[in-house]
């Protein structure tokens, strides 16, 4: 548990957020040879090299881990702190213990646990999935989730995808994005292992596991919901989309979904399109796919709610649409960012709105 949440003054946050957005925009934009540059983590992010996974608790000293002394070798402790026993809920026991250790050792994940959480009380978990060529640390900072998770008493984890032969991180998500080299990697199994591993660090409420992904991470969030609906309560996908072959998505139960998309997205098109030779569905098709799978009786319709999610666009540019007649725990919404790009300059309202959506699912289930 190493590091402290970076606090940024309101006046400086917009410039800092714009810098993160610029990094992500460069990461998500492909050059003529199909290669995208991988950005370096911003200076404001906190990372740990602890294996198998690093853990951050807000309020601890940067570079230290509970049970260690500053300056000692990571992984050594003067007195190993006691950990709560992992939960026995079968929904969390998704991978054999030895397989969990193997998967996590290959791709460590940073876990952020609010310092004031009761170690004996199961907490909600938010899994952040980065975009193509980006990283979990960059994505978490861009979303602005660290502070919001601490305020809400939620555990946060942001794992990294596999590195492809070009050195770019990706998730093996759907037929549309972004396993361009045909790698034999099961990211559904990996993310299931991540959830189980986090539950060994702090008990997790199996009914309040949420995924939020951007671009390739949005695609991966949808795939995970399609295959592990028993494990995830809600998904927020920014600039992602459902599989082209919708028949491949067969969730075992309803999952609440929020599709967030900018109308001026030139990478993953709001109205569908092609990215690096792969066709992807439109935001409307993605929403309708979930309307059908969740068994909603109504159609997508406008609401009177608006949000100011993009600091680069004046006013409350984001309009909210919702599908009517959805079952408990299976709400479906689309948040359209008018004039928003593939990497919107997210305002602090984004994290607030996403966590509000997660909380509403908690009340709905």
179 touches 173 (CB < 8 A): yes
Give per-residue pLDDT as tens, 171-182. 999 998 989 999
The mean pLDDT value for 127-155 works out to: 95
pLDDT of 108 reads 86
DSSP at 283: H
% of the chain surpassing 90 pLDDT: 65
- Stretch 253-266: mean pLDDT, rounded? 98
pLDDT value, residue 22: 52
Alpha carbon of residue 361 to chain centroid? 16
For range 244-260, the mean pLDDT: 96
Helix axes 10-28, 136-143, angle to 10 degrees: 140
Mean pLDDT calculated for residue range 31-58: 36
- pLDDT tens for 229-244 read 999 999 999 999 999 9
Q: What pLDDT shows up at residue 98?
A: 67
Q: Give 52-74 pLDDT, tens digit per residue.
A: 444 554 443 333 333 333 333 33
The pTM of the full predicted model, rounded to 2 decimals, is 0.78
Question: Where does the pLDDT of residue 95 fall: very low under 50, low under 70, confident under 90, or very high at 90 and above?
Answer: low
Instruction: Concatenate the DSSP letters of all residues of 264-302 into one string.
Output: T-TTTTTT-EEETTEEE--HHHHHHHHHHHTT-SS-EEE
Residues 6 or more apart whose CB falls under 8 angstroms from that of 348 comprise 13, 144
Per-position b or e across 101-115, b if 16+ CB within 10 A of its CB: eebbeebbbbbbbbe
The answer, yes or no, to whether residue 19 has pLDDT greater than 60, is: no
Q: If you average pLDDT over every residue of the chain, what do you get?
A: 80
pLDDT tens sequence across 277-317: 889 999 999 999 999 999 999 999 999 999 999 999 999 99
Give the pLDDT score at 273: 94
**Whether pLDDT at 35 is above 50:** no
Does 129 have pLDDT greater than 90? yes
Return the biggest CA–CA distance within the chain. 60
What is the mean pLDDT of the segment spanning 35-59? Answer: 36
CATH superfamily of 12-28+37-61+86-364: Alpha/Beta hydrolase fold, catalytic domain (3.40.50.1820)
Is residue 363 scored above 60 in pLDDT? no
């Amino acid at each position: 548990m190493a590091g402290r949440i970076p606090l940024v003054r309101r006046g400086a946050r917009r410039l800092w957020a714009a810098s993160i957005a610029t990094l992500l925009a460069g990461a998500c934009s492909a050059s003529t040879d199909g290669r995208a540059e991988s950005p370096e983590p911003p200076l404001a992010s906190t990372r740990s090299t602890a294996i198998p996974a690093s853990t951050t608790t807000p309020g601890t000293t940067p570079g230290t881990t509970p049970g260690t002394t500053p300056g000692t070798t990571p992984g050594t402790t003067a007195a190993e702190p006691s950990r709560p026993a992992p939960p026995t809920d079968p929904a969390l026991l998704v991978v054999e213990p030895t397989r969990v250790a193997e998967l996590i050792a290959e791709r460590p994940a940073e876990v952020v646990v609010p310092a004031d959480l009761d170690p004996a009380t199961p907490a909600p978990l938010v899994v952040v999935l980065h975009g193509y060529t980006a990283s979990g640390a960059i994505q978490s900072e861009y979303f602005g989730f660290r502070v919001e998770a601490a305020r809400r008493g939620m555990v946060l984890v942001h794992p990294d995808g596999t590195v492809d032969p070009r050195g770019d991180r990706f998730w093996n998500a759907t037929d549309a994005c972004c396993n361009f080299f045909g790698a034999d990697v099961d990211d559904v199994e990996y993310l299931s292992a991540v959830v189980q591993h986090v539950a060994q660090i702090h008990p997790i409420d199996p009914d309040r596991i949420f995924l939020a992904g951007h671009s390739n991470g949005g695609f991966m969030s949808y795939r995970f919901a399609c295959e592990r609906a028993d494990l995830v309560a809600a998904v927020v996908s920014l600039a992602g989309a459902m599989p082209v072959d919708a028949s491949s998505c067969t969730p075992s139960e309803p999952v609440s979904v929020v599709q967030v998309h900018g109308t001026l997205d030139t990478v993953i098109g709001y109205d569908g399109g092609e990215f690096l030779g792969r066709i992807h569905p439109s935001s409307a098709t993605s929403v309708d796919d979930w309307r059908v799978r969740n068994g909603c009786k109504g159609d997508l319709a406008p609401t009177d709610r608006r949000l100011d999610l993009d600091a680069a666009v004046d006013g409350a540019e984001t309009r909210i649409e919702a599908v009517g007649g959805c079952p408990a725990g299976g709400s479906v919404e689309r948040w359209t960012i008018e004039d928003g790009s593939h990497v919107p300059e997210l305002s602090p309202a984004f994290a607030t709105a996403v966590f509000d959506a997660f909380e509403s699912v908690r009340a709905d289930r």
